[in-house]
Structure 1
Amino acid sequence: MARSSTLNIAVIGVGRMGADHVRRIQEAVSGARVSAVVDADAERAETVAARAGCAAFTDPADALAAADVDAVLVASSSPAHEAALLAALAHDLPVLCEKPLTPDPASALRVLEAEQRLGRRRIQVGFMRRYDAEYLRLEQLLRTGRLGRPLLLHHRHRNVAAPPGWASELLISDSLVHEIDVTRWLLGQEITAVTVLRPTPSSHAPDGVQDPQFVVLETDGGVIADVEIFVNCGFGYQVRAEAVCERGTAQVGDGHAMVTQTDGRWGGTIAQDYLERFEDAYDRELRAWVDSVRRGTTTGPTAWDGCAAAAVCAAGVRSLTEGGRVPVELPERPALYG
């Protein structure tokens, strides 16, 4: 589409994440507008649509058939992603899909194959940490080679509390998936095996939920990455990463907060959720996506990245439930994705 044209976006799923994207498009992104919102909850769809001044739908197919939809943003629950993505591809519409691409490798592969049949990339996956200023600096530093070859990656991922109804497997498919993508992106390597260790669960974890978890990722370049996932830590939202290389280390995370010193004390604040911690990254991500779509291109994390992450998550869930080291079953990377 012409760069001077306004991009009309249908947002599918307007719960907390989707509603925040609607606000972001309206307030923080130029060259785009929300032309439709979709949610299975009709009342919620109507409420968000009224604020955005657009049409409301309960069926994605009806929204995508509308004449004033140029692109799609999928922020529904992950089990609904496949249907929304296939519908968007059927209309040849560019789509930004919140992570995960889909909840399992089989559905991710079906989406990947549908995009290949289309013959061009249309899907960008919402791995927003690639747009975070701190993670970008770390990625750029590793690319220079100044610190030598990466040997280890240490990740930490903590949430105040998990949403109601979370199960042990969701710590991997909905939380660890970020560290999986970041590890692949920072290193330019694929993950080949996963081991999930089960410490004593926190007394604050819901009954039957294994929280925290300690995960070891192995890559085809010989790097070992470890991840602490703790989604009911109770005190704040923390995401950190440290790269240990042959000639030095580099750490990112939590460096954005102000620290005060007064009355004989020093301290600061801890972000309480992902929308606060990664607000700027979400803004950058959405602006970059809108700009690329208006240029007629697709950039950012691909459907292949989403498919690879799904395969690693599946190995992680298997390790969690069965124990031990589990190899990742990764399909061959299609030529469409470089």
Structure 2
Amino acid sequence: MSLRVGVIGAGAMGADHIRTISRSVPSARVSAVYDFNTDTARAAASPVGADVVSSAEQLIDSTSVDAVIIASPDRTHADLVRACLAAGKQVLCEKPLAVTADEAYGVVEAEVVGGRRLLQVGFMRRYDPGFVALKRTITDGTVGDVRLVHAIHRNASSSTSTDDAGLITGSMIHELDTIPWLLDDEITGIRVESPVVDGFRDPQLATIWTKGGVMVMAEVFVNAGYGYDVRCEVVGSRGTASLAPAEAVSTRVAGVDGVPVRDDFVAHFADAYRIELSTWADEALAGATTGPSAWDGYVANAVAEAGVASLASGAREPVTLRERPSLYA
């Protein structure tokens, strides 16, 4: 038996999920695709023999779809997730879960009413072998008590995070999820600044404080020009641990000694996406979901909202969360 997956949104992310499932996830197959651009939907669906449907609602309600992947624009996520929950279908929603913290908490409430977890948020770094190994150096005590974390997240260019707030809610939100997961800690405060005064404030630098006393410096630069670059260093009382470079081969050509820098985030995290989708599909077939939850999505949105407020105020802003429902204990 294979999981029949419907994909909403067939742009870069959705199309890559469709290819990954067809090539690397034997427990699933894509059965239906919807995109507001019918040609885009056909281009993604045709190679895998999936049907193209005329609306997201038709896809969610289809009897030929067991589970749904949402890879449509951010503003559509919360409503589509709620429709999947109402239909009783497992759903993997790309980040962010919602545009605002209140909207995200509305999804939490809708899932709690249903009484079981059906939603996973696409924070794929939790599945990346490098980040998993980095987390292990913390949990096994290799680096001792963590004091500082330095995180860097750069894109060559971005067509999605194009305004000050969107850089935080659409790009930095990865760091805002990764840090609590990596440290098994809660973010209590955030200050976001930028050296750019006029126009799009890119790059941005966040100083983050956790309940356990760790300080984090997180740089996000979505138009860095040279490529896609994600780094993370954990500084502890006994030593440090850093993500290792992804490239296995270094070259010396035309007077240059080094390794290439990718400009494609999908290629950079190909293993993470493959493991994420495989795990999600296997769990969905078993009727279980253990990945990043609706609560995790809400937390990231709440921290992002405080970060947006900080960028405007110039001050450290507190992160205040609602009470966590027992469903996510």
Residues 1:308 and 1:165: Cα distance change in structure 2 (over 3 Å): closer
Whether the 8 Å contact between 2:155 and 2:223 is mirrored in structure 1 is yes
Unaligned runs of 5+ in 1: 202-206
- Cα distance, 1:186 vs. partner? 0.7
Whether the 8 Å contact between 2:161 and 2:171 is mirrored in structure 1 is no
Q: 1:261-299, CA deviations, whole angstroms, 9 ceiling, x for partnerless residues?
A: 467652110011211110111111101111111122111
In the other structure, the counterpart of 1:190 is 186
In the other structure, the counterpart of 1:124 is 120
Tell me the distance in 1 between the aligned counterparts of 2:320 and 2:259. 43
Residues 1:306 and 1:109: Cα distance change in structure 2 (over 3 Å): same
In the other structure, the counterpart of 1:254 is 245
In the other structure, the counterpart of 1:181 is 177
Residues 1:94 and 1:214: Cα distance change in structure 2 (over 3 Å): same
Tell me the distance in 2 between the aligned counterparts of 1:254 and 1:310. 29
Residues 1:65 and 1:46: Cα distance change in structure 2 (over 3 Å): same
1:13 aligns with 2:4: no
Tell me the distance in 1 between the aligned counterparts of 2:257 and 2:124. 31
- Equivalences for 1:1-338 in 2 at 5 Å? 5-163=1-159, 166-200=162-196, 208-261=199-252, 265-338=256-329
Whether the 8 Å contact between 1:311 and 1:330 is mirrored in structure 2 is yes
Residues 1:315 and 1:263: Cα distance change in structure 2 (over 3 Å): closer
- Cα distance, 1:123 vs. partner? 0.6
Tell me the distance in 2 between the aligned counterparts of 1:320 and 1:160. 23
SS of aligned partner of 1:244: strand
What letter corresponds to residue 41 of structure 1 in structure 2? N
Q: TM-score, normalised by structure 1?
A: 0.94
In the other structure, the counterpart of 1:204 is none
Tell me the distance in 2 between the aligned counterparts of 1:267 and 1:208. 34
Tell me the distance in 2 between the aligned counterparts of 1:332 and 1:224. 24
Greater shift, 88-97 or 258-267, is seen at 258-267
Residues 1:165 and 1:240: Cα distance change in structure 2 (over 3 Å): closer
What letter corresponds to residue 102 of structure 1 in structure 2? A
What is the number of residues matched between the two proteins?
Answer: 329
Tell me the distance in 2 between the aligned counterparts of 1:255 and 1:21. 21
Tell me the distance in 1 between the aligned counterparts of 2:299 and 2:54. 31
- Cα distance, 1:56 vs. partner? 1.2
- Cα distance, 1:52 vs. partner? 2.4
- Cα distance, 1:122 vs. partner? 0.6
Q: TM-score, normalised by structure 2?
A: 0.96
Residues 1:262 and 1:60: Cα distance change in structure 2 (over 3 Å): closer
Tell me the distance in 1 between the aligned counterparts of 2:81 and 2:254. 55
Greater shift, 224-233 or 53-62, is seen at 53-62
- Cα distance, 1:230 vs. partner? 0.8
SS of aligned partner of 2:240: strand
- Cα distance, 1:185 vs. partner? 0.5
Residues 1:38 and 1:260: Cα distance change in structure 2 (over 3 Å): same
Percent identical: 43
What letter corresponds to residue 175 of structure 1 in structure 2? S
Whether the 8 Å contact between 1:257 and 1:269 is mirrored in structure 2 is no
Q: 1:48-83, CA deviations, whole angstroms, 9 ceiling, x for partnerless residues?
A: 222221211232111121111110101011100011
Whether the 8 Å contact between 1:41 and 1:58 is mirrored in structure 2 is no
Residues 1:280 and 1:125: Cα distance change in structure 2 (over 3 Å): same
SS of aligned partner of 1:192: strand
Residues 1:58 and 1:289: Cα distance change in structure 2 (over 3 Å): same
Whether the 8 Å contact between 1:258 and 1:268 is mirrored in structure 2 is yes
**Deviation >3 Å, runs of 4+:** 261-265
What letter corresponds to residue 335 of structure 1 in structure 2? S
